[in-house]
Homo-oligomer: A and B are copies of this chain.
Amino acid sequence: MVRLVQKEETLDPADWNAMRALGHRMIDEIMTYLQEAREHPVFQQIPEEISTKLNEPLPVEPQGAEKACEDFLNNVLRVYQTMNIHPRFWGWVIGTGTPMGMLADMLASGMNHNVEAAYTVPYQIEMKVLDWLKDMLAYPKDACGLLVSGASMANLIGLTVARNTMAKFDMRQEGLQKIQRKMTLYGSEEMHSCIQKSVEMLGLGNEALRRIPVNADYEIDIEKLENEIRKDKDSGYQPFCVVGNAGTVNTGAFDDLDAVAEICARENLWFHVDGAFGAWVALSPDLSHLASGMKKADSLAFDLHKWMYMPYGVGCVLVKRREDQLRTFSLVPEYLRHDEKAPVWFSDYGIELSRGFRALKVWMSIKEHGVKKYGRLIQQNVDQAHYLARLVDRTPMLERTAPVCSNIVCFRYVPSRLDEHSLKELNEKIMYQLAFSGAAVVSSTVIRGKYTLRVAIVNHRTTREDLDFLIREVTRLGSAWGKAR
């Protein structure tokens, strides 16, 4: 079985200087791409020739580093779907990224540390980053936490800890298959779909997730929440958790987190907050009061790649009591055994065992800009949302469909005498035209039955002029459509 190969091979380059030169070239290309983002269409359909080129059979023989990079430049980068790096991308809630975040990702990838074990510098940096995040969000200093790929994972981990901690039996050992008294949890109708996904994965069943109506401002109706909890208790269920929204995905609304926290304390329920993007209003001078209840959460999920503008993918879950998180996830078999007095490894706090050095971009970005500047940028996006709302309100034919609480503006083009169906058709057409013309990307949603354009601003490149342009384009497309009918 032992082959006598003369010389072993490696995946390292034969010529390191050529690889260095290629690296310099890639730096130049991508920096120019970022610098000129504004000059390019935010979206365009993929040319058919590109799709054909991408439809390549599995490479059996080596093409070499130069060719791999050439193909990337010609068939990926130069197709110029700048998307979320563009100043006029406001679809869904998708952040912009930064040049420094990109360099940090490169350095992390080069080091290729598995940030799991203690005793390494990357471990120390992730611990430090967690401290900084707790500090920025005014979350208790002795809380525990973990960087993850994004808020979906963060919510899943938070809810796993909630389920296991609140169960009246050994959930890890026995699971839900032995349950006597069914466990239920609560959140508003406006909750993000990833909460449902988590609840389904955890085996609780979508039925266990009670969707509480919202008030006129799209905040959870506190009285209805209390009633539902009481009703469930009376019916023999075990209510165990309330999910509070810090920034709903539809309208950017904030539940009254202090009121939810009070209910949770009184009823002995786990208080989980989904703050995917909204948690960061904590840094905004005008809106930080909306996030003040977050510090009372037993667990808190949020992203860094949305409103902190860092490159994908990095989110975070914080859990107030370390032992709850450890009891849920720690699982140390013989081949991973380490000194019991040693610091806890990250794998004992979550799902991933192998973990990249996500912390580096967070660390370097916060050092680069400092917290104050992030606060100003977040406030700037909030101000821009209010600016856009004013533009909408002043423009004939435009109807604002929801209040602006943080960074999301919902509106639509409404010529007279159109029924709901035609309004949907019209505004959908406007949305696609905006994108296909390369002008702007917005997404859509339905607010109380009204099909609506939705502008979510988590973009550090957006200016007020971009929003002026958006309104001009929407009205132009809308009126052109009216004339064409």
Contact = CB atoms under 8 A, between A and B. Distances in A.
A94 interface: yes
B1 A386 contact: yes
Contacts of A20: 27-28, 31
A380 B100 CA distance: 38
Interface string A355-376: 1110011001111111111001
Contacts of A331: 193, 196-197
Contacts of A187: none
A385 B231 CA distance: 63
Nearest to A205: B175
A26 B109 CA distance: 12
Given A12-B99, A68-B368, A360-B72, A94 B107 contact: no
A177 B182 contact: yes
B68 A364 contact: yes
A211 to B, nearest CB: 12
A11 B377 contact: yes
Interface residues of A, number: 174
A172 B380 CA distance: 41
A397 interface: no
A475 interface: no
A149 B286 CA distance: 37
Interface in A136-192: 136, 149-153, 156, 160, 163, 171-179, 182-183
A81 B112 CA distance: 11
Interface in A217-248: none
B176 A176 contact: yes
A22 to B, nearest CB: 7
Interface stretch (A122-130, A259-267, A294-302, A415-423): A122-130
B79 A121 contact: yes
Closest 7 A-B residue pairs measured CB to CB?
A175-B205, A203-B203, A97-B112, A312-B356, A106-B106, A105-B109, A335-B445
10 contacts: A9-B460, A12-B35, A12-B99, A59-B366, A97-B109, A151-B354, A163-B203, A176-B203, A193-B333, A303-B354
